[in-house]
Amino acid sequence: MEEEMRANMLVIRELDKNEDTQKVEELERRCEAGSCGEMSLFTDLLGDPICRIRNSPSFLMLVAEIGPGKEIVGIIRGCIKVVSCGQHLRRPSNEDSDLKIEPICTKLAYILGLRVSPSHRRKGIALKLVNRMEEWFRRNGAEYSYMATELDNKPSLNLFTKKCNYTKFRTPSILVQPVFAHRVKTHRRQITIIELTPPEAETLYRRQLSATEFFPQDIDRIVQNKHNAGTFLAVPTEYLWTGLDRFLSDPPESWAVMSAWNCKEVFKLEIKGASLARRLAAKATRMVDKALPWLRIPSVPDVFTPFGLLFLYGLGGQGQQADKMAKVLCGHAHNIAKELGCGVVVTEVASQEPLRSAIPHWKRLSCAEDVWCMKRLVEDYSDGSLGDWSKSPPGLSIFVDPREF
């Protein structure tokens, strides 16, 4: 009996990158890491289990191993950062008697990449991994923890909402557009696209979007990261651009901003389960689009083999023409994705996002309702007037961190 207990003893420990990488890759292949529609996570391109979280301010990866052979049967990733709760706090300004509006921030933890081997499910391993990760969150001062999953992923939702006391918090949409063989027009005669430097992008985001829910306080690290493919500002052609200072003090009536993140160097996706007829039809659209690019046929890229994606984030803008400008920025991002060899352009927006209608996407590839669940990790409040963010109503927009997509 003791030998059997030792053989089945479960150990949860921190990942040893040198010793565990191959075993983790094998576990990832055994697990179907579902995403929206027919897409699923295919593989970590770099063969690095922590590649998707290494750019976060603070991160941890745990593995669950069992038996004398130390088989890895479960993994979980977690990271911690400081974000805005989407509220404002008015404080006296040092410069004058006016009140200065500041966003309310909190230390937020995020759980991603929870996997359990199919042969070891329903044995409480996932729950043990989550509990251990939450212990690390608390030790490092996180006030809240959240995770994201698909609406139809009942096992994951049941684990977090029924066993771990998370509540459904937000239901954003993941919008996916294929990258065609032709370039997309961006109407440069009416709208000018300006590529901002990382310092300019940081300043603009802090001035305009810092009170948006989930806005990361280390936005400077994001826009300066090697995976960031640029931040782009769209303004009317007649607007004279002389620099960011003038834009912030005297902006045009309408404008839009958006950043792009190259996920191709981090992970790849593939669409599974497509019939031969559908594959051939998709190939035919690509052949025609490549031969006759001036027709601008909406062709289907080769998404039935591993492909990369370009993720759009930091969407924002003002004015009656902001949606038109956001659409132009999406077209510009499509052309960047084409140059990078990505198969799709993806963004995630709040269900009430004002610029949502401007984002081109294919409904079949997109996910109308992703589910974000949240849990408060601490019992006491540092300031009783701030309330509990996990019980707050949704705002119009959210800031989706590309490091966690």
Q: What is the mean pLDDT of the chain?
A: 86
Query: Of the candidates 28, 26, 3, 23, which has an alpha carbon nearest to the alpha carbon of residue 13?
Result: 23
Instruction: Give the per-residue pLDDT at 91.
Output: 58
Q: Is the pLDDT of residue 390 over 80?
A: yes
> The CATH number of the domain where 101 resides is what?
3.40.630.30
Whether 21 and 112 share a structural domain: yes
Whether 152 and 231 share a structural domain: no
Tell me: the pLDDT tens digits for 304-363?
A: 788 899 999 999 999 999 999 999 999 999 999 999 999 999 999 999 999 999 999 998
Whether 122 and 232 share a structural domain: no
Q: Is the pLDDT of residue 93 over 70?
A: no
Q: Give the 3-state secondary structure of residue 358.
A: helix
Instruction: Give the per-residue pLDDT at 368.
Output: 86
Whether 64 and 155 share a structural domain: yes
Token pair 């706090």 is found at 89
Residue 402 covered by a domain: no
Instruction: Give the per-residue pLDDT at 89.
Output: 60
Whether 234 and 335 share a structural domain: yes
Tell me: the pLDDT tens digits for 252-290?
A: 999 999 999 999 888 877 777 777 777 777 778 878 778
Q: Is the pLDDT of residue 222 over 60?
A: yes
> The CATH number of the domain where 312 resides is what?
3.40.630
Q: Is the pLDDT of residue 200 over 90?
A: yes
Q: How far apart, in whole angstroms, are the C-alpha atoms of residue 157 and residue 136?
A: 22
Q: 80-102 as b/e, with b when 16 or more CB fall inside 10 Å? A: bbbbbbbbebeeeeeeeeeeeee
Lowest-pLDDT choice from 48-62, 158-172, 229-243, 310-324: 48-62
Contact 67, 7 (CB under 8 A): yes
**Contact residues for 251 (Cβ-Cβ < 8 A; gap 6+):** 318
Q: Give the 3-state secondary structure of residue 393.
A: coil
Instruction: Give the per-residue pLDDT at 225.
Output: 94
Instruction: Provide mean pLDDT across the span 291-303.
Output: 79
* CA 405 to each of CA 56, 60, 101, 291, 348: distance values in angstroms, whole numbers, following the listed order: 12, 16, 30, 34, 9
Contact 86, 392 (CB under 8 A): yes
Range of the domain at 185: 175-358
Q: Is the pLDDT of residue 4 over 50?
A: no
Instruction: Give the per-residue pLDDT at 44.
Output: 46
Whether 158 and 268 share a structural domain: no
Residue 398 covered by a domain: no
